[in-house]
Amino acid sequence: MDTRYLEYILVLAETGNITRAAEKLYISQPTLSQFLAKQEQEIGTPLFQRVNGAYTLTPVGNLYAEYARKVLSLTNMLEKDVKRLSTASRISIGTASSRALQMVTSILIDFRKYYPRVAIDLPSGNLQFMRDSLTKGTVDIAFVTTDSLELHKGESLNLKKEEILLAAPKAHPFCQNLDPQKHISLNRQQVLEHFGGTPFILQLKGSCLRYLVDSFLGKDFTPTLACSTSYVQSLWDMVASNIGVGFLPIGYAAPTPQIVYFSLEPKMYRIHAALLRKDLILEAPHKHLLELAMNYARENWSGF
């Protein structure tokens, strides 16, 4: 896009001297003088005052310069975006959960059929790490589980909502006479009454589930920790082994005689979502990736 003529006016205003301006622009002084005379003739009023060879902007010239700067700034942004739009050769896809990584691994098989030349980076970390990475621009799309999308309005895609259950060993005194096939609902007071003295197996700080659990248990209760882990399957195994109680997504609540599951009141959910980098321009590869993710969630997470 040719914006040289706008730069002519701005450089002349900056130097205040037509000879120095012409030298800085690598054009001849007569060329610059002719351009200025033509511009002033088209506008119908002088852009500069000439006093003893010094050029200073008139009020109209100041207005012209103001709009010239805006046009140059917008042109620069447009050129950068067009360049980025036409060279989508790499996408950084972050994952913040094992389910998200499993999904991405699966959908990349189909994605590569359509975009074999797009290189993929797969960084991983917890929810806060992904939020920071999106802010820094080191991740384009992050597939996460989160407690809320309020912080990401207009920059997120809700894939699925999944209920969180309390899992307790069948050997626990409160559970011994309960039917593992039935989900009883417990509120916070009841959870603390029946399990407050029991060791808890919780997710590591910074994870979505830990945010939810800490909020549910409240600041006035400090659980005895048997273990902290980032692996939900390990949590399930430890509950089944009577090591303690824990909270896990319903997608992991496999039926077993060793565990009794409880719904919570009010119900607690985590959200499977795609978070987008704030300045991300959705090109065809990004859109196809998000479409594959939505289809995967619909077909494979229908039990949530």
Fold of 90-160+271-300: D-Maltodextrin-Binding Protein; domain 2 (3.40.190)
Mean pLDDT of all residues in 280-300 = 92
Number of C-alpha atoms within 13 angstroms, CB side, residue 39? 18
Does position 282 have pLDDT exceeding 60, yes or no?
Answer: yes
Q: What pLDDT is attached to residue 104?
A: 96
> Using 50, 70 and 90 to split pLDDT, how confident is the model at 304?
low
Please tell me the predicted confidence (pLDDT) of residue 150: 87
d(CA 45, CA 174): 90
User: 27-54: per-residue pLDDT in tens?
Assistant: 889 989 998 999 899 999 999 999 988 9
Are 173 and 267 within 8 A, CB to CB? no
148 pLDDT band, cuts 50/70/90, is confident
Least confident stretch, 146-150, 210-214, 270-274: 146-150
pLDDT in tens, 174-221: 999 888 777 789 999 999 999 999 999 999 887 888 989 999 999 999
Distance in angstroms (rounded) separating the CA atoms of residues 164 and 162? 7
Helix (H, G, I), strand (E, B) or coil at 281: coil
Q: Are 165 and 244 in contact (CB under 8 A)?
A: no
Q: Residue 287: what pLDDT? A: 92
φ, ψ of residue 83 to 5 degrees: the values are: -65, -45
pLDDT of residue 115: 87
Residue 127: pLDDT band (50, 70, 90) is confident
Give the model's confidence band at 3: pLDDT under 50 very low, under 70 low, under 90 confident, else very high. Answer: confident
Q: What CA dihedral angle connects 100, 229, 190 and 216, to 10 degrees?
A: -60
Written as one string, the DSSP assignment of 169-186 is ETTSTTTTTS-TTS-EEE
- Calpha distance 60→43 (Å, rounded): 9
Q: What is the pLDDT of residue 2?
A: 65
Confidence grade of residue 1 (pLDDT, cut at 50, 70, 90): low
More confident residue, 69 or 303: 69
Query: What would the two tokens of residue 28 be?
Result: 């001849």
Supply the pLDDT for residue 117.
Answer: 86
CA distance 53 to 182: 92
- What is the identity of the amino acid at 50? R
Q: Any idea which residue has 């800490």 for tokens?
A: 214
| Whether domain 4-86 has CATH 1.10.10.10 | yes
Single pTM value for the model: 0.62
Return the structure tokens found at 302.
Answer: 């229908």
**Torsion angle, alpha carbons of 165, 168, 170, 176, to 10:** -100
**pLDDT given for residue 88 in this prediction:** 55
**Residue 301 predicted with pLDDT over 90:** no
Is it true that 90-160+271-300 and 161-270 share their CATH fold?
A: yes
pLDDT of 81 = 65
- 236 vs 181, residue with greater confidence: 236
Domain extent listing, the chain: 4-86, 90-160+271-300, 161-270
* Residue where the block lists tokens 């992991």: 252
For position 152, what pLDDT does the model report? 87
Whether the link from the prior residue into 266 is cis, omega within 30° of 0, is: yes
CA dihedral 246, 249, 250, 253 (to 10 degrees): -50
pLDDT band at 76; cut points 50, 70, 90: confident
The CATH-assigned architecture of domain 161-270 is 3-Layer(aba) Sandwich (3.40)
3-state secondary structure of 244: coil
Instruction: With H, G, I as helix, E, B as strand and everything else as coil, classify residue 73.
Output: helix
Query: Do residues 22 and 32 touch, judged by C-beta distance below 8 A?
Result: yes
Q: Is 52 left (phi over 0), alpha (psi -120 to 50) or beta?
A: left
Residue 172 has pLDDT above 90, yes or no: yes
Two tokens at 48? 């500069």
Mean pLDDT of the chain: 90
Model pLDDT, residue 262: 96
**Residue 122 token pair:** 């797969």
Residue 263 main-chain phi, psi, to 5 deg: -75, 160
